[in-house]
Amino acid sequence: MAWRETLQNASFRGVPFELLSTTDSNKQSVVTHSIPYTNGGNVEGTGFDPQAFNFTAIFYGEYYESRLDNFENALRQSGDGELMHPIRGLLTVTVQDYQVKHLEDEVETARVDIVFIEQDIITELFAVPFPEQSVFDFTDVAELLLAVSQEQLAAELKPITQSPVFANKQRALRLDKFMIKMLQALRELVKNSISTVEKLVNAPYEFAAQMANLCDDLIDLRAFDTDIMSAKWHSLRGQFKKILRLPNDGQSLNTTQQRDNQRLQHHLDSVVLRAGFVSASQLFAADIAEPTLTPIEIEEICNTLRADTQSLIVSIRQFNSPLTQADMAVIDALKTAAYTAQKTGLVLLARKPPLIERIVENDTSLHLLAHDWYGDHTRAIELLRLNTKIHHPNFIASGEVLNAYAS
């Protein structure tokens, strides 16, 4: 099933070749600790060497020599090269050695045994990324971030709410007032009336859940089903950052109040980031169903999410010293989120040909240009989306440089 759907044509440095077999080899470096005059010993694994790929290519038929020469020229070039593995996909490899065989009973045929060494981490078998899976990954990251943020908020509030000291009771009342204001601000936006507990400061999990649900309601109001999805996403992110910001009560704050504010703000920033991932998952799901986002927009959204996670990590490290176990859990979740944003961006960008700049050779219109470049005049809409500077699609001047997909 996997081979029928995902098997790819083998090539090296852009030179295609037919493949008889491939063997992926893994060898671990070990250290043997032996004791003199004693049989046996301890063996310590120290990690696997770079992965090796043993290929057997075949060239046959009339004029096979020219195709074999082209392939050998690609093998002899120094430095790394791109190998299209039929199962594992695109890899960066170095040629370790190769052998060319001519057998007596195989007329006009040559077999080439090659050993490629991968220049990266070991690739998982059938690790072919699908855009739909990236949407699920974004949702999973959002829920993980909410869970660890809830735990951190509960850990921060517990010593304050359970303390019999009068000063701590005042701190709890102050934080409870801010938490209620945050919920009220969101409820007004989504026109939603929900029941709240008597004191939110005593129910951090309930507070976090209500915040997340209200954010989801606001995201649902901004359906990502138009041709301005990227602008709507950035607008929604800015709205969340503006609302989920602790208000300034106009008073000078002591050190304890400043730390209380910062800890609660860290949780609110986590809620904003979660909302960003949830809304981005909906945006990317809509784009997979009907592509409208340009590569630049996809890259910009993923980079924005990575920058937001990095900013929150830095803030947590600066204000919470020493770091608690709950802090470390949040930081780990943020790292996972940043990596997911990067990985998802690469998967989504790989759905389309590379974005390049092309020069218009003659005065033309956008529809004629699309027909000339792609043989499909309907792709004029695509060119218009990639080049927002175009004001008159029917008048494209010769020499103008436009963004376009390679194919």
Asked whether the predicted pLDDT for residue 56 surpasses 90, the reply is yes
Asked whether the predicted pLDDT for residue 123 surpasses 70, the reply is no
Q: In this predicted structure, what is the pLDDT of residue 251?
A: 64
Q: How far apart, in Å, are the Cα atoms of 24 and each of 50, 116, 118, 331?
A: 11, 10, 10, 36
Q: Identify the band that residue 264 occupies on the pLDDT scale cut at 50, 70 and 90.
A: confident
Q: In this predicted structure, what is the pLDDT of residue 121?
A: 56
**This prediction's pTM:** 0.59
Asked whether the predicted pLDDT for residue 225 surpasses 80, the reply is no
Q: Residue range 31-42: average pLDDT?
A: 78
For residue 159, cis peptide bond before it (omega within 30 degrees of 0)? no
Q: Residue range 135-139: average pLDDT?
A: 80
Beta bridge partners of 60: 109
pLDDT digits (tens, 9 = 90+) for 350-401: 777 777 888 988 899 999 998 888 888 888 888 888 888 888 888 888 888 9
Q: Where are the domains of the chain?
A: 2-118, 131-349, 355-405
Tell me how far apart the alpha carbons of residues 352 and 405 are, in angstroms, rounded to a whole number: 8
Place of tokens 């090296």: 12
User: At CA 194, angle to CA 193 and CA 195, rounded to 5?
Assistant: 130
Q: Identify the band that residue 115 occupies on the pLDDT scale cut at 50, 70 and 90.
A: very high
Q: Residue range 76-84: average pLDDT?
A: 87
CB atoms within 10 A of CB 259: 15
Token pair belonging to 279: 């809304």
Q: Residue range 135-141: average pLDDT?
A: 82
pLDDT digits (tens, 9 = 90+) for 276-308: 888 888 888 888 877 778 788 888 889 999 999
Q: Residue range 234-260: average pLDDT?
A: 77
Tell me how far apart the alpha carbons of residues 89 and 82 are, in angstroms, rounded to a whole number: 10
| Residue 164 DSSP code | -
CB atoms within 10 A of CB 397: 10
Q: In this predicted structure, what is the pLDDT of residue 163?
A: 79
Tell me how far apart the alpha carbons of residues 3 and 255 are, in angstroms, rounded to a whole number: 62
Asked whether the predicted pLDDT for residue 125 surpasses 50, the reply is no
Q: Residue 339, Cα to own-chain centre: how many angstroms?
A: 6
Asked whether the predicted pLDDT for residue 1 surpasses 50, the reply is no
Q: In this predicted structure, what is the pLDDT of residue 78?
A: 85
Between 222 and 145, where is the model more confident? 145
Amino acid at 287: D
Q: In this predicted structure, what is the pLDDT of residue 293?
A: 80
Asked whether the predicted pLDDT for residue 224 surpasses 70, the reply is no
Tell me how far apart the alpha carbons of residues 153 and 265 are, in angstroms, rounded to a whole number: 10
Mean pLDDT over the full length of the chain: 82
Token pair belonging to 365: 């219109």
Q: Residue range 194-203: average pLDDT?
A: 65
Q: Residue range 13-32: average pLDDT?
A: 87
Q: In this predicted structure, what is the pLDDT of residue 36?
A: 78
Handedness of CA 212, 213, 214, 215 (dihedral sign): positive
Q: Which CATH architecture has domain 2-118?
A: Beta Barrel (2.40)
Q: In this predicted structure, what is the pLDDT of residue 41?
A: 76
Q: Identify the band that residue 309 occupies on the pLDDT scale cut at 50, 70 and 90.
A: very high
| Contact between residue 230 and residue 297 where contact means Cβ atoms under 8 Å apart | yes
Give which of 349, 280, 273, 305 is closest to 138, Cα–Cα.
Answer: 280
Tell me how far apart the alpha carbons of residues 393 and 407 are, in angstroms, rounded to a whole number: 20
CA dihedral 178, 182, 188, 191 (to 10 degrees): -130
pLDDT digits (tens, 9 = 90+) for 319-339: 877 888 888 888 898 998 888
Least confidently predicted of 17-31, 105-119, 157-171, 258-272: 157-171
Token pair belonging to 338: 């940043």
Token pair belonging to 255: 């050190």
Token pair belonging to 144: 């993980």
Place of tokens 């803030």: 315
Q: Identify the band that residue 162 occupies on the pLDDT scale cut at 50, 70 and 90.
A: confident
What percentage of the chain reaches a pLDDT higher than 70? 90
Which residues, in sequence order, are CB contacts of 199 under 8 Å at separation 6+? 172, 176
CATH T-level assignment (fold) for domain 355-405 = Membrane-bound Lytic Murein Transglycosylase D; Chain A (3.10.350)
